[in-house]
């Protein structure tokens, strides 16, 4: 199968953001006067790849109601000002994106992360130039962005932008069950980045078409 539209997840697929995410979550709880989440809880919630609001709520005691928007705003402020510098691209990230573009593929980066943080991070790491489109959560947008695993992210935001590509020529590359469920919901092939953050058993249950243990293993899929 030849793929020409590549949808890359950011956290855990292109970039190792674990240290930045955990730092920001601990600091957010600290700032609101709560005990810092412990490592097992942090690891479990990062493995899921959920939207930020759900991640924060998941770390609260059972039965906690919806959190005020100030929680997500505070997390993003801390992440942007203090934690983003901890982010590192996975080995081969720039090489793979450059090779994909050179082969004529169109690259889209999609994430449940805030769009401003996502754009700034990709630019700082020298990866933004390879992406034809970057999609992330933008609280200032008139119409909220559907977040993974909602297939509306694909049908309403990606397909209209790139109508020349079919579902069969589209590949989702991601590391969590959320990414793989998104691909399944969209009816597109999935490549599981098993080196990332996802829980192995949960990801394997989605039976992704491809599995890679490093980013550079993606290259042969693009030249088949």
The pTM of the full predicted model, rounded to 2 decimals, is 0.91
Within 10 A of 103 (CB to CB), how many other CB atoms are there?
14
End-to-end CA distance of the chain: 7
Question: 191: helix, coil or strand?
Answer: strand
For 18, the token pair is 């674990």
Q: What is the pLDDT along the chain (224 residues), one digit of tens a residue?
A: 589 999 999 999 999 999 999 999 999 999 999 889 999 999 988 888 888 888 998 898 766 677 888 999 999 999 999 999 999 999 999 999 999 999 999 999 999 888 999 999 999 999 999 999 999 988 888 888 899 999 999 999 999 999 999 999 999 999 999 999 999 999 999 999 999 999 999 999 999 999 999 999 999 998 87
Q: Which domains does the chain have, with CATH numbers?
A: 5-16+87-222 (3.40.50.1000), 18-86 (1.10.150)
């Amino acid at each position: 199968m030849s793929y020409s539209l590549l949808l890359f997840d950011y956290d855990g697929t292109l970039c190792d953001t674990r240290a930045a995410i955990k730092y920001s979550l601990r600091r957010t709880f600290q700032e609101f006067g709560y005990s810092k989440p412990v490592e097992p809880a942090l690891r479990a919630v990062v493995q899921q790849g959920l939207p930020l609001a759900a991640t924060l709520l998941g770390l609260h005691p059972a039965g906690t109601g919806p959190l005020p928007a100030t929680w997500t705003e505070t997390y993003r402020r801390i992440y942007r000002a203090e934690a983003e510098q901890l982010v590192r691209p996975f080995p081969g990230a720039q090489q793979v994106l450059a090779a994909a573009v050179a082969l004529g593929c169109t690259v889209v980066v999609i994430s449940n992360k805030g769009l401003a943080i996502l754009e700034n991070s990709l630019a700082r790491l020298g990866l933004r130039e390879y992406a034809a489109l970057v999609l992330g959560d933008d609280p200032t947008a008139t119409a909220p962005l559907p977040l993974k695993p909602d297939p509306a992210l694909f049908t309403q935001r990606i397909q209209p932008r790139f109508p020349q590509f079919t579902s069969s020529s589209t590949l989702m590359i991601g590391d969590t069950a959320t990414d793989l469920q998104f691909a399944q919901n969209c009816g597109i092939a999935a490549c599981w980045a098993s080196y990332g953050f996802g829980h192995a058993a949960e990801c394997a249950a989605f039976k992704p078409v491809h599995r890679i243990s490093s980013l550079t293993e993606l290259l042969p899929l693009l030249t088949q």
